[in-house]
Chain A
Amino acid sequence: MFGVSIDNLLNLDQKYYQMDDYQSDIPRWCPGCGDNGILTATQRLLREEQIAPEKTVFVSGIGCSSRFPHYMNTYGFHSLHGRALPIAEGVKIRRPDLHVFVNMGDGDCFSIGAAHWIHALRYNMNMVAMVHDNNIYGLTKKQASPTTPKGLKSNTTPRGAVLEPLNPLVTTLAVSNVSFVANVVEWIPDLLFDVIKKAFHHKGFSFIRILQRCPHFTPHVFDPIMNEPDRLRLLTHDDGMVIPDAIKKIYKNVETHDPSNIHKAREYASDTETIPIGILFRDESVPTYDDIRKPTKPNTPSVINEALQREFDKFGIKPKND
């Protein structure tokens, strides 16, 4: 090879992003908190896809999980309790060029934000929503959340939770226009990364419920699941997620599930004995709201730049005799 293309020379300053480029602050989560794993998997995704930090927005509500944007060196929006989704939708409709991620806790999403959750599913806008489900309100020191198991003693239920917990997967799969539903646990990092990656590449609203250990308040809920690998039912399919052999050696309960089959997905979701892990449902054909209601005046930098340049050309070059 003799010459270097001029295009390459002009792109010399283009950066290759490392994991550290996406990290802004040292996470202040409790020792051993499962949120760390989710943060790492997300950063790994951004690095693998080489997404510029300035092209990414993380929106969160209130809670332990919602500290997420603080630790990402990208745009972030630490918003109101339960209101992460409407804000994310606002960002997406005006700036379709940005990649939008939403991080919510179980209390945040399934309780105070439940209405937004249902409608965000129905709107099906192109973003990734991750629910860090630790079955408890952790930041406010142990109050029962919608997913707290029956009988768990908390500050609001000192004699044990009285209600059956909400099953968010069943709820999600019942909403019309749902296009991507996955369930995963944060302590199998490879599967977590794979699910987030699949969600990122899905065009539409990708809902991921992540079972996240809270070592401080709910260790007795998650330790039994961790110690009994067979309680996890790993869903594999050539069209969905392929489970690596190394993981199959530890988690032997693997079943083939076609993610286009919503009835089977609902069946797996409502099973109380085992926890389905993987992509439960995916439908690429569902139209997204950002396509249906395409903004007439998006505020993307290229549009603004083009308009500015056009104007600058008029002012910029003056005839000599002026």
Chain B
Amino acid sequence: MTAQKTKGVSPSQKEAEHLLEELEQFAGDAPSSTPKQTPDRDYHLWMEKPAEQDDERQKALYKKHLTFYLGETSAPVPEGLLPAGLAPLAHNPAAHSPFPVLLTGESGTELWTLDHIMRKLLEASSLKDEALEVYKRHLADLERRLLNEYGRVDHFQDFEEVLSSLALQAFKRLTSANGEDHPAVTALEQLSMNVPFKGLLIGYGPETVRHLISRSQAATWRKSVYDTLDRLEELTLSINALVESAQNAERESDASNTAFSDSIDFDKLKEVVQSVPSPSSVDGSRLKRLKKIADSLNTWHDILNSDKHAAVFLEKFTSTDPARAHTEKARREIIGLIRDYHLAVLEEKHRFDAGKHQKLFDDFSELMMSDEEIRLIPPVLLFLDARQAAEHQEALVARMLSGEKIKISIQATSLLDGERLLPLYGWARMATALNRFYVVQTPLPAIRDMWDEIRGALQFEGAAFFSFYTLIDEEENAPVADYIRCGAAAASRVFPLYAFNGQTAKPLSERFFLSPEIQPQSLWAVNSHTVRVGDEHGEQSFTFTPAEFFYLHKGFQTHYFPVSREEEHAALIPLVDFLKDTRLHKEHLPYITMADGNGELYKLLVDEFIVDQCAAIAADWRVMQEWSGIGNSWAAQALARHKAALEEESEAKIREITESYEARLNADREQLTSEIISNLAAGLLSDEMIRLGSGLSAPVAAPPSAAPEKSAPPQEDSAAPESAPEAEAEEEDEGLSFDEAYIDTPLCTSCNECRNINSDMFAYDANKQAYISDVNAGTYRQLVMAAENCPVKIIHPGKPVNPDEPDLEDLIKRAAPFNG
């Protein structure tokens, strides 16, 4: 800034300078929300090198610390300590709460954080270069004011209104001192008049979740009503028009549409209709009916035309009281809407016939609605806080087990009570175990990360369960901002961000979603920071365990014991290592690393109580990891089994190969031996030997013995073909049998000749072609006559069923040509 001043170039830059100064003055006036931020501008972690200790002193220190570990002594913890992994974040002036958030987008389905809003506003301004920089500064101020004034307001505001009034104030303030038109000032003026997007500004508070969920649910529901009853809008208009035209009937005596007037004499028709004695009672009823439908549709039209009205309509059914009355009412009203919709469809087409349809619509119930229409019945939204849930525990459990389509949201404003961890996440775990629920668990500040999952749960057709943690700190001067503590609950695995999809058809690992925000792959979340040790700088990573999270809660601070730098000794190990291996428990003590307001690192000894809590939470977290498919022990086991099986198989193969190789080797060796022997023998028994006339035959006796073996199989083969033709011949005989009477039905020309002879014996099939329905229903004579009369010659009489019929021989002769 000063550099620019010395250069002092363009007038616009000067002006910008001026504006910036203005702005800084102005910002200085505003009360700062985090007063301790100022001294910590460049916060960094550091520590001195630990002092060396001799053995005896080490033993004494170990004993001292062990008494604390076992809960026999305690000591106050110094003020202002923060977990080392968290401290740089907590002292970072740039970090701020994501609240207020903006619920916007088509039908209120997108959730924008403050950063997102500001980015969009900057884009909308279309300024460039230094003008943009100036505008950015203005917006930073607006952002700060939004944060301060609306960050903790838990009822929603119209974003457009809020922003334009803030922008107007800023604009007025700037113009009172400087009347000239700087582009950034003009942009600000424009902003005060015309906010580029709409939505609802929602701050952080106990009601935030309720607003977000019920609004989003209303938008979803409204859309589904319009998608399913796609003609609703058009129908409403046309029914209104119908009522209108009916009421104006008297005045409009002329047929407005004369296209058909020459086909039908409408004047005559009118006379006829008017001459009928008293039609008014019937006609009155139609008008009444039409008016009723029109009223109903108009009411619904109003409800469905804005998210606000729809939310109010749905809000009727939200209740902290787990009773059924509200659900029933909603159900009845939606059924009424669908009935009126169908009535309107009929009336519009003039298809409504009182005699035929009146009763149907009188008894209209869910049974007559299609699946899609049944889906329109809005789910019950049940908002409870953790205390209420505990009070109504039995009723709530009964409700969850009942299997109805219910969306339950439980919100805790505190996870820790005194020295106790509240079993809040137990609810979410229970809903998950019930399997049908779509479960989403998130601390409120992280709701943006889980927004897709929340939308999924709201659109999910079955039951859903939301578990929220909205920290409302009642302690004065909490060392860390609420939103950081909420996030810490998620990162420390005490309240992990997760979602569980209720669609039971999917595999478990696809259904279970652990947010990548909390490093789901590892056991604990790890943060790395630069640490100066003596004069050297180095990266050091800090794990974030429940012990760090518990420390942020005052009630738990008695479980921590400060270790001064002089008292450090070799038996102290990080808590993470201590948890990993229970064998270390004998000779070691766990500590966690903390940082004070100046960034100096301290060690805090942790007692047995905290260690037990951490171990329990770690075990729970392992289960969650397995559900989401991370480090799946079943898969590992299956893999090990498979590997063992494969190894065994390959070993067996190796053994087999070795054996066969050895066998072959032995065989070759024997053959070779015998060859050598025979060669030797042949050599030895050469001419001289023969001449000696010993008569010894050479030991080559193998070939003659092999011959008969080879000739044996062909003998078996030759036996087989002899039996085969016999079997085939038998089969053919069966196929050629003409003993039974039959008709080539597909060729029948339906001339009825056979049925005229005996309609019991012959019948028509569905295509009106004849077949023999009962061969015993008539005589063989009739069968033969039918065959002779059939013009297409498709009746085959076969052989007579009854051998006692007269003149059988003659008949068989007559039947012969039709059996061929």
Contacts and interface: CB of A to CB of B under 8 A. Distances in A.
Nearest to B243: A317
Contacts of A1: 371
18 contacts: A1-B371, A19-B766, A32-B751, A32-B753, A32-B789, A34-B791, A37-B751, A40-B749, A40-B769, A188-B747, A189-B748, A299-B263, A311-B266, A311-B269, A313-B242, A313-B350, A314-B249, A315-B283
Given A10-B360, A43-B768, A313-B242, 9 more contacts: A2-B366, A2-B371, A5-B369, A37-B750, A189-B748, A310-B257, A311-B270, A312-B273, A319-B250
A186 interface: yes
Nearest to A23: B768
Contacts of B140: none
A316 interface: yes
Contact of B252 (A10, A186, A307, A314): A314
A246 interface: yes
A311 B255 contact: yes
Contacts of B746: 189-190, 246
Interface of A: 1-6, 9-10, 19, 27, 31-34, 36-37, 39-40, 43-44, 186-190, 213, 215, 226, 246, 297, 299, 303-304, 306-320, 322
- Identify whether the interface residues of A are mostly helix, strand, loop, or mixed: helix
Interface in B748-789: 748-753, 756, 766-769, 789
B290 interface: yes
Contacts of A311: 255, 264, 266, 269-270
Nearest to A222: B791
B374 interface: yes
- Sort chain B's interface into a size bin: 35 or more
B342 A19 contact: no
A143 B816 CA distance: 37
Contacts of B766: 19
B284 A318 contact: yes
A36 B369 contact: no
Please list the 7 inter-chain residue pairs (A to B) with the smallest Cβ-Cβ separation, ordered nearest first: A37-B749, A32-B791, A317-B246, A40-B750, A307-B260, A315-B273, A309-B350
Interface in B341-392: 342, 346, 350, 357, 360, 366-371, 373-374
Nearest to A314: B249
A3 B366 contact: yes
Contact of B284 (A10, A39, A313, A320): A320
Contact of A189 (B250, B342, B769): B769
Nearest to A33: B751
B756 to A, nearest CB: 7
B360 A9 contact: yes
A304 B264 contact: yes
Nearest to B346: A10
A243 to B, nearest CB: 13
B274 interface: yes
B53 interface: no
B652 interface: no
Contacts of B366: 2-3
A234 B79 CA distance: 104
Contacts of B257: 310
B165 interface: no
B530 interface: no
B633 interface: no
A293 to B, nearest CB: 19
Contacts, number: 147
Contact of B768 (A2, A9, A19, A310): A19
B768 A44 contact: yes
A322 B250 contact: yes
A303 B749 contact: no
Nearest to B250: A319
A175 to B, nearest CB: 31
B667 interface: no
A302 to B, nearest CB: 11
Contacts of A215: 791
A239 to B, nearest CB: 24
B622 interface: no
Nearest to A188: B747
Interface in B706-764: 746-753, 756
Contacts of B287: 317-319
Given A187-B747, A307-B260, A3 B374 contact: yes
Nearest to B745: A189
Contacts of B751: 31-34, 36-37
A267 to B, nearest CB: 29
A318 B283 contact: yes
B284 to A, nearest CB: 7
A189 B749 contact: yes
A246 B370 CA distance: 46
B247 interface: yes
Contacts of A319: 247, 249-250, 287
A264 to B, nearest CB: 29
Contacts of A39: 750
B33 interface: no
A187 B371 contact: no
Contact of B263 (A307, A309, A310): A307
A299 B264 CA distance: 11
A215 to B, nearest CB: 6
A307 B264 contact: yes
Contacts of A297: 260, 262-263
B791 A3 contact: no
A44 B768 CA distance: 8
Nearest to B342: A6
Contacts of A186: 749
Contact of A187 (B279, B284, B357, B749): B749
Given A4-B367, A187-B792, A307-B264, A315 B249 contact: yes
